Amino acid sequence: MSEWLLWARGPMFRFAMLLMVLGVIRLVVLSLLNLVAVSRMAGDKRIPIATALRGTAGWLFPRWGALTGHPVLTLASMIFHLAMIITPIFLGAHILLWQRGLGLSWPALAQPLADALTLAGIVAGVVLIVQRIFARASRELSRLQDYLLPVLITIIFATGYLAMHPGSDPLSYEAVMLIHVVCGNLLLFALPFSKLSHVMLFPITRLVSEMGWHLAPDAGQRVAATLHKEDQPI
């Protein structure tokens, strides 16, 4: 077990980090190339960059008005995303690893707050998984990754919590840590090739979408011709 844990923390982690970084760089480069292509084709070159940036910033924070439609699901999604972003970055044990490896350090969450956020993430993850399975509308729109990613992230939360509280752990510390580290590495593998990539690309994607509405001057006529509706008013 110790040898497997050393392998997961060493070669597997380094390969996962390398693949994640290279994958994200590839996605960013492709998005920037799309941005240039869209800009060249735009009919109106006056792109409201400030508006796009304000829109991006607005979507980065929860909107309480969204709670009126599906309050439980929306709240669970908000909590899950917050826990997924904040806990890995500001957990004291993770910061210690960065300090040992690269000499980097920053303030950590108080342990009771980290525990509460982790438990909230576990509960939110279970709610999202159950909703995916039993809600017909969600099942019809879901792909395999829409089931696997919440399960994987919830396992990471659960094993991380058990590793920090050995008294509540039904397994050995090494077994729980092996599951935690391997699942974390799998998440790094998946990041550039799954919906998780939106965490990195959201600002660029928003700007590309905004610029895409500045169509070329004859775009309307070409769309009408494609639909065989040249003689109909648009």
* Tens-binned pLDDT, residue by residue, of the chain (234 aa): 788 988 998 899 899 999 999 998 998 888 778 777 766 766 556 666 676 667 666 666 655 555 555 677 888 888 898 898 899 889 988 888 888 877 888 999 999 999 999 999 999 999 999 988 888 877 787 888 888 999 999 999 999 999 888 877 788 888 999 999 999 999 999 988 888 887 767 666 666 666 655 555 555 566 667 777 766 655
- Spatial contact of 120 and 79, defined as CB atoms under 8 Å apart: yes
153-157: long-range contacts, CB 8 A cutoff, minimum separation 24? 153/80, 153/84, 153/121, 153/125, 153/187, 154/121, 154/122, 154/125, 154/126, 154/129, 155/179, 155/183, 156/180, 156/183, 156/184, 156/187, 157/83, 157/87, 157/118, 157/121, 157/122, 157/125
Can you tell me which residue has the tokens 């580290």? 181
